[in-house]
Structures are given as C-alpha cells and as structure tokens.
C-alpha cells in the first residue's frame, strides 16, 4: 500500500477509531486525544517498516492499548479479568450505540472492549479476542455481561454533567458565544492572547494571533450555523447547531481555554462531527 493510500485509509477509519476510544475512555474529547495518539503510533510503525494484513484490526489494537494507557495514567479504572465461558448472541444490539460515552466507563475494561467492538463496530467475537488479547471464552463472557449491564443502566435516567464554573469564567465563555452570535469577530480577535493556539481538529493547527485571525474570517462568511452557550461532558463549550437540519442536537462544539482575560486556545470540532455522537451536552443560560 502506498503512503498516500495508507493515509487515506487512516482518515477513513478515524471515525470508527473514535467510536471505540470515546467509549473506552468515557469521553468524546479525551477519545479524540487517544485517536490522535494512536494514529501517530501507526504512522511511526509504518515508517519503521511494519507491514500488516488487516489494517483496521491493527489500528483498533493500537487504539485499545492507547486507551488503556490513558485510563491507567489517570488511575480511573483497573482491569477486571473475566474467564467464564458463556454463550453470546451473534447479532449486535443496535440500542447500545445510543448509550452515552461516560456510561460505558462504568463497565470493566474487557466488557467495555467487547461491547464496543461487537455492538458499535460490528466485529466478531473472534476478532474481539484477538484485539483484546484474551481467550475466546473470556470475550464471550465479557460481551454478555457488558450487554446486560448496559441494558440495565439504560433503563435509568442519565445524569447530564453541568460544569461547576466561577461566575467570571461563565461570563467569559458566555461573552465569547454572544460575540459569535452577533458576528462581532473583531471583538473576539481583540481578546486573543498573542500566542493563542487553534486546533481545528482533524484538519489543521495554528498558533499566534496573526494566523488564528483568519479562522474567524471563514466563520464570518458562513450563515449555516447557529451558536449557543452550553456544556459538553461537564466542560463549558460553544454548541453549534446546523440551521439547515431538523435535528435538535448540536452538529459539533467548540472548547475555549482562557489565560486570565485572554483566549489561550480554541479547539473546534467542526471536522469531527462524530465526536458529538453520544456525548453529554446541555444548553446553559
């Protein structure tokens, strides 16, 4: 496979990798970080001459290990080994795709892995065992137990995470959103730190006030979007809705970080619409 074809396949598989990582980690935002790390590892391995027969399975194995590394660094969960041989049903459960990312985090790691690979991505139990490096009986048992737990939790109301913010911080983000709504991008530019960083996720990264300025020029020309102040996974965010769509759900979101009264970084998920797929979000006044 040529380098260009390899990179095209990475871009094609990126949404699937995110669907896996976000549910393993319990966060759309952290899941995107894991995907970026996994893809960098894949590119390095490719440069070192690694050849693979099944690219998707190989990438998922890298994404799986990257997700576990991130979880263990944060000491959020530990592996719970499962070894019983239990029969499972072969058909994926379509309702599990709709379960919020953070709910998956309540499952032990192997159960989480098995359910995501089977019911979200459509892999076989044999592939689950290969990617998770466990026995076939363990994969079957993990799948059955994970499904049962998620079905039970799906019957109870899901708690939306609202950010705990100081009034000053709430006012900053609220002001940013109001200026976007009014199209007053010159006022936003005046708030940028000299070394502001922009991450247009999965597309480009810019640094410095002069380079980031052109980001707002594109938005000034666009009439498709409606902007609102809200939160994603407990983080204050600008929610962006598609005015050409009947959907009541945001199309994507933007995270803003501050350094005192200046905007230090902007992380815009315009080109990763899959990130909002099952993320927690809420509108804030």
Q: Is residue 159 part of a domain?
A: no
238/185 Cα distance (integer angstroms): 15
With cut-offs at 50, 70 and 90, classify the pLDDT of residue 153.
confident
pLDDT tops 50 at residue 76: no
pLDDT for 163: 61
pLDDT for 267: 97
pLDDT, one tens digit per residue, over 258-278 is 998 999 999 999 999 999 988
Residues 21 and 122 in one domain: yes
pLDDT tops 70 at residue 29: yes
pLDDT, one tens digit per residue, over 180-203 is 999 999 999 999 999 999 999 999
| CATH code: domain of residue 109 | 1.20.140.160
Q: Is residue 161 part of a domain?
A: no
Give the residue among 212, 201, 198 at the shortest CA–CA distance from 271: 201
Which of 106, 121, 153 is at the close of a domain?
153
152/96 Cα distance (integer angstroms): 11
Residues 201 and 89 in one domain: no
Name the β-bridge partners of 229.
238
Q: Is residue 111 part of a domain?
A: yes
Name the β-bridge partners of 238.
229, 254
pLDDT tops 90 at residue 151: no
pLDDT for 160: 57
Pairwise pLDDT comparison (152 vs 249), residue with the higher score: 249
pLDDT for 277: 86
pLDDT for 170: 83
pLDDT for 166: 73
Three-state secondary-structure class, residue 249: coil
Which of 153, 183, 218 is at the close of a domain?
153
| CATH code: domain of residue 214 | 3.10.450.50
- Rounded mean pLDDT, 229-254: 93
Query: How high does pLDDT run on average in the chain?
Result: 88
184/187 Cα distance (integer angstroms): 6
The total number of structural domains that make up the chain: 2
Token look-up 């705990």 returns 164
pLDDT for 102: 83
pLDDT tops 80 at residue 150: yes
pLDDT for 80: 41
pLDDT for 82: 37
pLDDT tops 70 at residue 86: no
pLDDT for 81: 41
Residues 141 and 12 in one domain: yes
pLDDT for 157: 61
Give the range of the structural domain holding residue 202, as residue numbers without chain letter: 167-283
pLDDT, one tens digit per residue, over 87-100 is 444 566 777 887 88
CB 121 within 8 A of CB 115: no
Residues 140 and 191 in one domain: no
The pTM assigned to this predicted structure is: 0.83
């Amino acid at each position: 496979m040529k380098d260009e074809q390899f990179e095209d396949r990475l871009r094609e598989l990126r949404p699937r990798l995110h669907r896996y990582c976000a549910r393993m980690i319990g966060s759309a935002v952290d899941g995107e970080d894991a995907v970026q790390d996994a893809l960098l590892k894949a590119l390095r391995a490719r440069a070192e001459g690694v050849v693979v027969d099944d690219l998707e399975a190989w990438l998922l194995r890298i994404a799986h290990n990257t997700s576990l590394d991130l979880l263990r660094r944060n000491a959020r969960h530990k592996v719970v080994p499962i070894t019983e041989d239990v029969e499972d049903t072969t058909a994926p459960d379509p309702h599990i795709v709709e379960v919020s990312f953070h709910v998956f985090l309540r499952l032990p790691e192997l159960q989480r892995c098995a359910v995501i690979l089977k019911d979200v991505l459509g892999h076989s139990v044999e592939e689950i065992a290969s990617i998770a490096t466990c026995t076939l009986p363990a994969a079957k048992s993990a799948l059955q137990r994970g499904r049962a737990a998620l079905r039970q939790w799906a019957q109870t109301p899901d708690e939306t995470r609202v950010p705990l913010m100081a009034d000053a911080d709430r006012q900053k983000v609220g002001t940013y959103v109001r200026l976007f709504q009014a199209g007053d991008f010159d006022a936003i530019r005046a708030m940028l730190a000299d070394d502001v960083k922009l991450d247009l996720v999965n597309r480009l990264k810019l640094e410095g006030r002069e380079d980031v300025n052109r980001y707002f020029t594109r938005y000034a020309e666009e009439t498709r979007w409606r902007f609102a102040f809200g939160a994603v996974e407990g983080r204050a965010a600008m929610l962006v809705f598609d005015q050409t769509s009947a959907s009541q759900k945001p199309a994507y979101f933007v995270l803003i970080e501050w350094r005192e009264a200046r905007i230090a970084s902007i992380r815009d998920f315009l080109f990763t619409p899959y990130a909002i797929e099952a993320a927690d979000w809420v509108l804030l006044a």
